[in-house]
Copies of this chain bind each other. A is one copy, B any other.
Amino acid sequence: MAQVPAGVLKKAVSRALQEDVGVGDVTTAAIVAAGQKGRATVITRGEIVLAGSAAFEEVFVQVGDVTVEFLFADGDIVPAGETVATLKGNLGAILTGERTALNFLMRLSGIATLTAQYVRAVEGTKCVIVDTRKTTPGLRALEKAAVEAGGGRNHRFGLFDGVLIKDNHIAAAGSVTTAVKRARAAAPHTLRIEVEVAKLHQLNEAIKAGADVVMLDNMSVEDARRAVAIAAGKVTVEASGGMTLETVKAYAAAGVDLISVGRLTHSAPAADLSLAVKKGGS
């Protein structure tokens, strides 16, 4: 599983801490003695697929004086009521970092948990669940890693590492053929050319024009099946558009290679996790 680059992780965490702690945690500074030690545990309230442990740990690296130990790894299924991680060290630091650390863990585990449900839904087919660019602004790298933790795969990261010709590009070029030709001529040869098609006749044109991948946009299951037959292995076939846990299986069964699901990242509910502090410590 690809890791979030260290610099990206550090900046995301430092930004979040700056946002929450700002000029200081006035409550903890006033009440908790500077040297006081403490222990805490992170506990699940429902079953989750874990993701975001690196961000959780990085929060306490930056807050300082707290040791975190995870009892599960990203991608693990953790039952309800389980201890996910333990913390030990400066009590004030634990309290100051708590909310920021949980905000990362809850959102990212929420994404992994939802992804795992989609992956399970297509089990038994060769179809792969992939994410989209519909991520939270500023957290894309972390959210895409969470999709991988949930068993999904990543689509292109952004506009720079994949050619995806959409209807608007086709309209601007005049035709699928012209659009593909222009992309071939100008984009680095290390990138495949993917073309979005809304109708089956466009699929033929895309294949003829030399597309490497086609994305079926909001097609019916029936049309998806026909598209797979037309593609006949010559191009990779991706289905996309409003995929729910109920509908996704049928598309997978239709034989598409990939299904991209926006809600993995734009609408996953947060995983339910809480942190309980215990007095005492080393």
Binding site for B on A (CB under 8 A): 2-8, 12-33, 36, 38, 62, 64, 91, 95-96, 99-100, 102-104, 106-107, 110, 130, 133-141, 153-169, 171-173, 179, 182-183, 185-192, 194, 212-213, 236, 238, 257-258, 262-263, 266-267, 269-270, 277, 279
Contact = CB atoms under 8 A, between A and B. Distances in A.
**Copies of this protein, total:** 6
Contacts of A258: 189
6 contacts: A23-B161, A24-B141, A27-B165, A154-B188, A192-B192, A269-B269
A44 to B, nearest CB: 15
B137 A28 contact: no
A189 B30 CA distance: 12
Contacts of A106: 134, 266
Given A21-B160, A172-B91, A189-B258, A182 B30 contact: yes
Contact of A267 (B7, B62, B269): B269
B190 A19 contact: no
Nearest to A164: B27
A8 B173 CA distance: 27
A163 B24 contact: no
Contacts of A153: 186, 188-189
Nearest to A26: B187
Contact of A159 (B12, B27, B187, B262): B27
